[in-house]
A and B are shown apart, each in its own frame.
Chain A
Amino acid sequence: MTMIGIEERTAIREGFARLLADKADEAALRRVMATESGHDAGLWSAIADMGLTALLIDPEHGGVGGSIVDVEAVFEEAGAALLAGPLLSSAVMAATLISASSDGDAKARLLPAIASGQTIASVAVTGDKGLWTLDDIGVSATGSALNGAANYVIAANVADLLLVVAKNGDGVAVYEVDPGAGGVTLEALKGWDSTIRLSRIVFDAAPATRIAGLDGAAVERMLDVARVALAGEQAGACRRIFDITVEYLRTRVQFGRPIGGFQAVKHIAADLLIEVESATSAARAAAQALAAGGKDAPELVSLAAFACADAFHEVAAAAIQLHGGIAFTWEHPAHLYLRRARVDAQLFGASDYHRERYVSALENAA
């Protein structure tokens, strides 16, 4: 459970929102989009100074001992601003994996620098199918060498440290890899959303160090944490683009009145509000369930995964239509939200996968 109280969480969230408004507004985001790395080092150190890279790491290793509930709240703000960079891959995915290990040496060596933001870590999970399941792992370990390929790795292009999920005999294990080592080839992929940088990484007898105590179940648990962070991002982004759209409907005048007065338009807005509120509720409920470690956690995580993905996509897509021509221009932010929505909808398992997992969980509960 979290060591952060409700009031402190609210303060962290509000502080982060101010930082983003100040240093990660739309103009700043567009500048980052145009860079080769897709990463704003100055913003990253400000985020680290706020302790946000240390949320999931325990105080013993330089962290603040927060939980997924805190992360979810922070990611609502990150999503609203379409924050680019390695927060999800480093502070959530990598921090969760290493923290779950039984490898005292790896924890002591790696976690403090991840907590301080000094090390940026990235986690390679899925193979070329992009399913994020244990059946779809493209890397195999032989002794301390890795072979194969991992795909759709988030922010690997700016990572100082790679954690690679690999098949190891009959099981699954996690390896620490130096991205600069021989036998590691990183191919930066051109993506539709340039605020999220994806890479395919090929391993050819790449040297790797196994992190003890991490198996397939630990990888699954890490993925659930990542899914809830992503659900928070989707809920926050969904609400922001909705608010932007409703404001436009109030002020854009055609036929002598604001277009939000037309039922063909306002009825869509009313329906979308249900999606926006449902996304927030689902993301927060999943975070609570996961933090509590209850039996309903898989059910609520998958519910949040597909409900938030679908809500964000539906709202972002409708936002362009409701704005009309202005949102068909590159300069308008609506398409940036649609880009993020379409990429987010694929990460860590698409909606169909999570609907299936949700029904299975309901069956087991019945």
Chain B
Amino acid sequence: MSSTDIKTEVEAFLTAHWDSEARRPREGATRDWMQKVFEAGWAVASWPREWFGRGLDKDESKIVLSAFRKAKAPGAGQDRTNITAASLMNFASDEDFKREILPQLLTGKVQICLLYSEPGAGSDLAAIRTRAERQGDDYVINGQKVWTSGARTADYGLLLARTDWDVPKHQGISFLVCPMRQPGIDIRPINQITGDSHFNEVFIDNATVPAKNRIGAEGEGWKVLQTALAVERLIMGEGAGERRQGSSKSNVVSLIAIAKEAGKLQDPLIRQKIAQATAYRQLNALNIARAKEEMAQGSSSPIMSLGKLAMSRILHTDAAVMTQILGAASMLDGEAHERAADVNYRTANAYMTSIGGGTDQIQRNIISERVLGLPREVELDRDVPFRTSRAVTG
């Protein structure tokens, strides 16, 4: 099949079933559309035909993807973007389980949550102590996970659990797809400093996971996770420019507007602070735009790895400048002062970025090691059996 044939076929498919003006399927709901895309093999076009794909090469897959993008239709390109599905395909996994779950994953019929972090394994994720013990065809799971969003609505959790305590910490971890709706799983919301509850704790008490639900070999879980995270970073990096650029000016208006509202816009000190806060945001947008340009020309850019650290400074600085503008009113909250309530919320919520998904300190390690080539951090428990490390012995 030539590139032209593929283009013709995928465009015909889109024209027949997708209304690109209204951005919705011509008939049925989005669910039905996803099913059609899946059955036609467009969801994972680079996978073999016997595995729900079309056996296309990289360039041919791009043709499919760009046709979908042009029509603003969802569902294609999941061989890259559906990290759970891609991990199942890329690592040695049970064939029956793949046949059972992949169609559900690729048609969006199941929801997934992440069971990674633990109270004792935050920045040091490989120190997880949730155990998975093999009993017949199942693993029996015991432990506690934290910072899980969407736990209540998820059908499955991607679970990192320790299957071997006698090897160094990175080597004894397995990656399991854990059914969430079972008696051994207890979900409790976490009350955040913002007053929100986006995240949950998940207590796991003798829950079971069929052994066939494992992605990759036993003890290969860390490797599976790293591959998944790398893909995730890549996807986030590609999307980050548009999203952040899009939001880059919104804050400009609000800092000036807040100062005007508070009668402080003529205060020269406040104006200096507004300039600095706005500059951080605009410089980040300019950096991302330049990185995208450089990557489009084929050179790699270190800038993408700076975005998260830069964003945390932006958010904390914004909140600090807003607080300075409000002055004494920043002591108030809720109905007593709606603007203060918003600023207080931003002040607390900025930590979501400077802690969540790798703290600023971990980001600085990553940037200095991977971008600048400085020596790796010393890890005292890297090469010892996990059982003997301080994560276990205390």
- Interface residue ranges, A against B (CB under 8 Å): 246, 249-250, 257-258, 260-261, 263, 266-267, 269-271, 273-274, 277-278, 280-282, 284-285, 303, 306-307, 352, 355-356, 358-359, 362-363, 366
CB proximity of A183 to chain B, nearest CB, Å:
40
Flag if A278 contacts B372 (CB, 8 Å): no
The residue in chain A whose Cβ has the minimal distance to the Cβ of B372 is A246
Complex Cα distance, B253 from A366, in Å, reads: 6
On chain A, the residues within 8 Å of B276 by CB distance are 355
Flag if B368 contacts A277 (CB, 8 Å): no
Complex Cα distance, B341 from A350, in Å, reads: 36
Within 8 A of A (CB), among B336-394: 361, 363-365, 367-369, 371-378
User: How many of chain B's residues have a CB under 8 angstroms from any CB in A?
Assistant: 41
Flag if A258 contacts B253 (CB, 8 Å): no
On chain B, the residues within 8 Å of A246 by CB distance are 372-374
A-B contact pairs, 22 of them (CB 8 A): A246-B372, A250-B375, A260-B372, A260-B375, A261-B376, A263-B377, A266-B364, A266-B374, A267-B361, A267-B364, A270-B367, A277-B302, A278-B287, A285-B289, A307-B279, A307-B283, A352-B272, A355-B272, A356-B271, A358-B275, A359-B275, A362-B256
Q: A263-B377, A282-B286 are in contact. Are A366 and B256 (CB under 8 A)?
A: yes
Within 8 A of A (CB), among B284-305: 284, 286-287, 289-290, 302-303
**Which of B253, B279, B302, B373 lies in contact with A306, CB distance below 8 A?**
B279
Flag if B290 contacts A284 (CB, 8 Å): yes
CB proximity of B378 to chain A, nearest CB, Å:
7
> Is B130 an interface position by the 8 A CB rule?
no
Complex Cα distance, B282 from A284, in Å, reads: 13
**Which of A270, A285, A362, A363 lies in contact with B364, CB distance below 8 A?**
A270
CB proximity of A278 to chain B, nearest CB, Å:
4
Residue of B268, B272, B283 contacting most chain A CB atoms (<10 Å): B283
CB proximity of A298 to chain B, nearest CB, Å:
13
> Is B82 an interface position by the 8 A CB rule?
no
Flag if B272 contacts A273 (CB, 8 Å): no
Complex Cα distance, B274 from A355, in Å, reads: 9
Complex Cα distance, B313 from A362, in Å, reads: 21
The residue in chain A whose Cβ has the minimal distance to the Cβ of B297 is A6
> Is B187 an interface position by the 8 A CB rule?
no
Complex Cα distance, B313 from A278, in Å, reads: 13
CB proximity of A362 to chain B, nearest CB, Å:
6
Cβ contacts B170-207/A at 8 Å (1 or 0 each): 00000000000000000000000000000000000000
> Is B306 an interface position by the 8 A CB rule?
yes
On chain A, the residues within 8 Å of B257 by CB distance are 366
CB proximity of B67 to chain A, nearest CB, Å:
31
Q: A261-B378, A263-B377, A277-B303 are in contact. Are A270 and B372 (CB under 8 A)?
A: yes
Residue of A281, A282, A303, A366 contacting most chain B CB atoms (<10 Å): A281
Complex Cα distance, B68 from A264, in Å, reads: 48
Complex Cα distance, B371 from A246, in Å, reads: 11
**Which of B275, B282, B361, B371 lies in contact with A273, CB distance below 8 A?**
B371
Flag if A261 contacts B375 (CB, 8 Å): yes
> Is B84 an interface position by the 8 A CB rule?
no
**Which of A263, A274, A278, A356 lies in contact with B275, CB distance below 8 A?**
A356
> Is B309 an interface position by the 8 A CB rule?
yes
Flag if B268 contacts A356 (CB, 8 Å): yes
Flag if B374 contacts A278 (CB, 8 Å): no
On chain A, the residues within 8 Å of B378 by CB distance are 261
Q: A261-B376, A261-B377, A266-B364 are in contact. Are A278 and B253 (CB under 8 A)?
A: no
Flag if A270 contacts B286 (CB, 8 Å): no
On chain B, the residues within 8 Å of A284 by CB distance are 290
On chain B, the residues within 8 Å of A249 by CB distance are 372, 374
On chain B, the residues within 8 Å of A261 by CB distance are 374-378
